[in-house]
């Protein structure tokens, strides 16, 4: 009797580890009715808007890949460290409703358990926690985009003719769904001027650079310490 039970559980095990629940086609919800448990390889995709996917070990919900999306930056960064690792992912599979997503299905805030053999990559620096030296009263920062080439954002920053690195601590930036780029100064600094190679406008201390068919473009802001 015990031997039969052990044999039954062994057969059941893989099914327990892989369980899919897919969004319905009735239009009532973009979410699947139940969480799924899926396995596959984590892949990080650099580009103008980086994203992370799970390449499935077996197809689920009619696809071989699902985007992993996150509400908090720390969770996204931790998943990025698992690039090329085998992992088990639990979460609700949803249809991707906006252009912010890169594929048709996603799991938002998934629970990720990497394989014990996963070698985590080094974490990215947390630029939001890097302060600007008190000696810097004014600086100029330029952010470059190339959506058509799907190139990562890059930047240059200088103060009193001196180049500074890295550029990320000196600017707050955001890409909207159309990949228009908005940039503004870090807290404690005021945007006093801007210029652009492309089409841009200033709105409430934020400079907005329009994608314009994804052609390479740039925007420069000048920031001065003070409210």
Taking only the tens place, the pLDDT of each residue in 75-111 is 999 999 999 999 999 999 999 988 889 999 999 999 9
Q: Which domain holds residue 132?
A: 127-225
Given 114, 145, 166, which residue is the final one in a domain? Answer: 114
The pLDDT value given to residue 73: 77
The answer to the question of residue 120 being in a domain is: no
Same domain, 132 and 218: yes
H-helix or E-strand containing 69? strand 63-69
For every residue of 13-51, DSSP letters joined together read HHHHH-B-----SSSS-SB-SS-EEEEEEEEEE-SSS-E
Given 56, 82, 114, which residue is the final one in a domain? Answer: 114
The answer to the question of residue 63 being in a domain is: yes
Same domain, 134 and 105: no
The pLDDT value given to residue 18: 67
CATH for 97? 2.40.50
Could you say which residues of the chain have pLDDT below 70?
1-18, 227
Same domain, 20 and 106: yes
Length of the chain as a residue count? 227
The answer to the question of residue 188 being in a domain is: yes
- What's the pTM? 0.82
Same domain, 179 and 219: yes
The pLDDT value given to residue 17: 59
Given 114, 142, 167, which residue is the final one in a domain? Answer: 114
Cα(111)–Cα(115) distance, rounded to whole angstroms?
13
The answer to the question of residue 193 being in a domain is: yes
Split into its structural domains, the chain has a count of 2
């Amino acid at each position: 009797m015990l031997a039969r039970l052990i044999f039954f559980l062994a057969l059941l095990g893989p099914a327990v580890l892989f369980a899919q629940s897919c969004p319905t086609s009735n239009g009532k919800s973009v979410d699947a009715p139940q969480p799924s448990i899926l396995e596959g390889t984590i892949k990080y995709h650099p580009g103008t808007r980086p994203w992370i996917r799970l390449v499935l070990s077996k197809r689920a919900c009619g696809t071989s890949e699902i985007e992993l999306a996150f509400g908090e930056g720390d969770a996204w960064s931790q998943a990025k460290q698992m690039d090329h690792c085998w992992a088990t992912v639990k979460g609700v599979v949803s249809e991707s409703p906006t252009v912010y997503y890169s594929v048709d299905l996603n799991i938002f805030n998934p629970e990720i358990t990497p394989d014990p053999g996963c070698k985590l990559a080094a974490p990215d620096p947390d630029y939001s926690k890097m302060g600007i030296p008190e000696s810097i009263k004014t600086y100029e920062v330029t952010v470059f985009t190339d959506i058509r080439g799907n190139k990562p954002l890059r930047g240059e920053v200088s103060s009193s003719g001196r180049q500074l690195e890295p550029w990320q601590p000196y600017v707050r930036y955001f890409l909207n769904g159309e990949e228009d780029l908005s940039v503004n100064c870090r807290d404690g600094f005021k945007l006093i001027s801007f210029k652009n190679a492309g089409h841009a406008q200033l709105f409430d201390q934020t400079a907005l650079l329009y994608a314009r068919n994804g052609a390479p473009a740039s925007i420069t802001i000048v920031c001065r310490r003070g409210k």
